Amino acid sequence: MTEVVIPIQIDFRSGVPITNQIFEQIYDQVLRGDLKPGDQMPTVRSLAQQLKINFNTVARAYRLLDEAGIISTQHGRGTYILPVAVVYPGSNLKKLDSLTKNYLEQASELGVSSGEILAVFQRNLRNWDQPTHDQEEENQEGHNP
Protein backbone atom coordinates (compact mmCIF):
# COMPACT_ATOMS: atom_id res chain seq x y z
CA MET A 1 0.00 0.00 0.00
CA THR A 2 1.18 3.50 -0.72
CA GLU A 3 0.75 6.42 1.61
CA VAL A 4 -2.32 8.46 0.70
CA VAL A 5 -2.45 12.23 0.49
CA ILE A 6 -5.20 13.46 2.78
CA PRO A 7 -6.86 16.74 1.85
CA ILE A 8 -7.31 18.59 5.13
CA GLN A 9 -8.19 22.25 5.47
CA ILE A 10 -7.30 23.87 8.78
CA ASP A 11 -9.25 26.97 9.78
CA PHE A 12 -7.04 28.76 12.29
CA ARG A 13 -9.78 31.30 13.06
CA SER A 14 -12.67 28.89 13.67
CA GLY A 15 -12.14 28.45 17.40
CA VAL A 16 -12.27 24.66 16.88
CA PRO A 17 -9.02 23.08 18.10
CA ILE A 18 -6.79 21.95 15.24
CA THR A 19 -6.65 18.44 16.73
CA ASN A 20 -10.45 18.22 16.46
CA GLN A 21 -10.43 19.57 12.90
CA ILE A 22 -7.97 16.87 11.83
CA PHE A 23 -9.92 14.14 13.66
CA GLU A 24 -13.27 15.15 12.17
CA GLN A 25 -11.98 15.56 8.61
CA ILE A 26 -10.23 12.19 8.59
CA TYR A 27 -13.25 10.51 10.22
CA ASP A 28 -15.58 12.08 7.63
CA GLN A 29 -13.32 10.91 4.79
CA VAL A 30 -13.46 7.35 6.17
CA LEU A 31 -17.26 7.47 6.42
CA ARG A 32 -17.56 8.80 2.84
CA GLY A 33 -15.23 6.08 1.57
CA ASP A 34 -12.56 8.53 0.43
CA LEU A 35 -10.21 6.76 2.83
CA LYS A 36 -10.59 3.01 2.69
CA PRO A 37 -9.61 0.22 5.08
CA GLY A 38 -5.95 -0.60 4.53
CA ASP A 39 -5.02 2.84 3.20
CA GLN A 40 -1.73 3.99 4.68
CA MET A 41 -1.86 7.36 6.42
CA PRO A 42 0.87 9.96 6.08
CA THR A 43 3.39 9.89 8.89
CA VAL A 44 2.77 12.32 11.72
CA ARG A 45 5.76 14.41 10.61
CA SER A 46 4.67 14.37 6.98
CA LEU A 47 1.12 15.54 7.76
CA ALA A 48 2.45 18.19 10.17
CA GLN A 49 4.71 19.53 7.40
CA GLN A 50 1.85 19.41 4.86
CA LEU A 51 -0.44 21.38 7.19
CA LYS A 52 2.37 23.60 8.50
CA ILE A 53 1.48 22.83 12.11
CA ASN A 54 3.22 21.37 15.14
CA PHE A 55 4.10 17.68 15.09
CA ASN A 56 2.47 17.18 18.52
CA THR A 57 -0.89 18.46 17.26
CA VAL A 58 -1.00 15.79 14.55
CA ALA A 59 0.23 13.17 17.04
CA ARG A 60 -2.71 14.03 19.36
CA ALA A 61 -5.18 13.75 16.46
CA TYR A 62 -3.72 10.38 15.45
CA ARG A 63 -3.96 9.19 19.08
CA LEU A 64 -7.66 10.15 19.15
CA LEU A 65 -8.23 8.39 15.83
CA ASP A 66 -6.47 5.31 17.17
CA GLU A 67 -8.52 5.34 20.39
CA ALA A 68 -11.68 5.68 18.29
CA GLY A 69 -10.79 2.57 16.29
CA ILE A 70 -10.36 4.46 13.02
CA ILE A 71 -6.62 3.94 12.52
CA SER A 72 -3.91 1.63 13.80
CA THR A 73 -0.21 2.37 14.01
CA GLN A 74 2.08 -0.57 13.39
CA HIS A 75 5.52 0.43 14.62
CA GLY A 76 8.03 0.27 11.81
CA ARG A 77 5.32 -0.26 9.19
CA GLY A 78 3.07 2.81 9.35
CA THR A 79 -0.42 3.92 10.23
CA TYR A 80 -3.41 2.40 8.45
CA ILE A 81 -7.18 2.91 8.21
CA LEU A 82 -9.00 0.10 10.02
CA PRO A 83 -12.06 -1.66 8.60
CA VAL A 84 -13.84 -1.52 11.97
CA ALA A 85 -14.10 2.26 11.70
CA VAL A 86 -17.04 1.87 9.33
CA VAL A 87 -18.33 -1.64 10.01
CA TYR A 88 -18.84 -1.78 13.76
CA PRO A 89 -21.29 0.56 15.49
CA GLY A 90 -19.23 0.26 18.68
CA SER A 91 -16.67 2.53 17.05
CA ASN A 92 -19.14 5.37 17.63
CA LEU A 93 -18.82 4.75 21.36
CA LYS A 94 -15.04 4.77 21.06
CA LYS A 95 -15.25 8.04 19.14
CA LEU A 96 -17.58 9.50 21.76
CA ASP A 97 -15.18 8.43 24.50
CA SER A 98 -12.29 10.12 22.67
CA LEU A 99 -14.30 13.28 22.09
CA THR A 100 -15.27 13.35 25.77
CA LYS A 101 -11.65 12.99 26.87
CA ASN A 102 -10.65 15.77 24.48
CA TYR A 103 -13.48 17.97 25.82
CA LEU A 104 -12.32 17.39 29.40
CA GLU A 105 -8.71 18.20 28.50
CA GLN A 106 -9.80 21.47 26.92
CA ALA A 107 -12.01 22.35 29.90
CA SER A 108 -9.08 21.64 32.21
CA GLU A 109 -6.88 23.99 30.17
CA LEU A 110 -9.53 26.68 30.70
CA GLY A 111 -9.36 26.11 34.45
CA VAL A 112 -12.97 24.94 34.68
CA SER A 113 -13.86 22.78 37.71
CA SER A 114 -15.39 19.33 37.36
CA GLY A 115 -18.60 20.64 38.95
CA GLU A 116 -18.86 23.40 36.35
CA ILE A 117 -18.17 20.91 33.55
CA LEU A 118 -20.90 18.61 34.84
CA ALA A 119 -23.41 21.47 35.20
CA VAL A 120 -22.77 22.72 31.65
CA PHE A 121 -22.92 19.20 30.23
CA GLN A 122 -26.17 18.35 32.02
CA ARG A 123 -27.78 21.61 30.89
CA ASN A 124 -26.77 20.97 27.28
CA LEU A 125 -27.91 17.36 27.47
CA ARG A 126 -31.32 18.39 28.81
CA ASN A 127 -31.69 20.97 26.02
CA TRP A 128 -30.55 18.47 23.39
CA ASP A 129 -32.89 15.79 24.71
CA GLN A 130 -35.98 18.05 24.67
CA PRO A 131 -38.27 17.55 21.65
CA THR A 132 -38.89 20.69 19.67
CA HIS A 133 -42.28 22.38 19.86
CA ASP A 134 -43.11 21.20 16.31
CA GLN A 135 -42.31 17.59 17.22
CA GLU A 136 -44.56 17.81 20.29
CA GLU A 137 -47.47 19.06 18.14
CA GLU A 138 -46.95 16.27 15.60
CA ASN A 139 -46.83 13.66 18.37
CA GLN A 140 -50.08 15.00 19.84
CA GLU A 141 -51.71 14.74 16.41
CA GLY A 142 -50.59 11.11 16.14
CA HIS A 143 -47.82 11.69 13.61
CA ASN A 144 -44.35 10.23 13.97
CA PRO A 145 -41.52 12.72 13.60
Condensed to tens digits (0 to 9), the pLDDT of residues 128-141 reads 766 654 445 544 55
pLDDT for residue 50 is more than 50: yes
Q: Where are the domains of the chain?
A: 1-87
**Contact in structure between 68 and 74 (CB atoms under 8 Å):** no
The four Cα atoms 140, 143, 144, 145 give a dihedral, to 10 degrees, of -80
Average pLDDT of the chain is 82
Q: Are strands 71-74 and 78-81 parallel, antiparallel or unpaired?
A: antiparallel
pLDDT for residue 144 is more than 70: no
The more confident residue out of 53 and 28 is 53
| Cα 42 versus chain centre, distance | 18
pLDDT of residue 38: 92
Condensed to tens digits (0 to 9), the pLDDT of residues 73-121 reads 988 899 999 985 444 555 666 677 778 888 888 888 899 888 888 888 8
pLDDT of residue 140: 52
Q: What is the mean pLDDT of residues 69-75?
A: 90
**Global pTM value:** 0.59
Q: Which CATH code of 2.40.50.100, 1.10.10.10, 3.40.830.10, 2.60.40.10 fits the domain covering 1-87?
A: 1.10.10.10
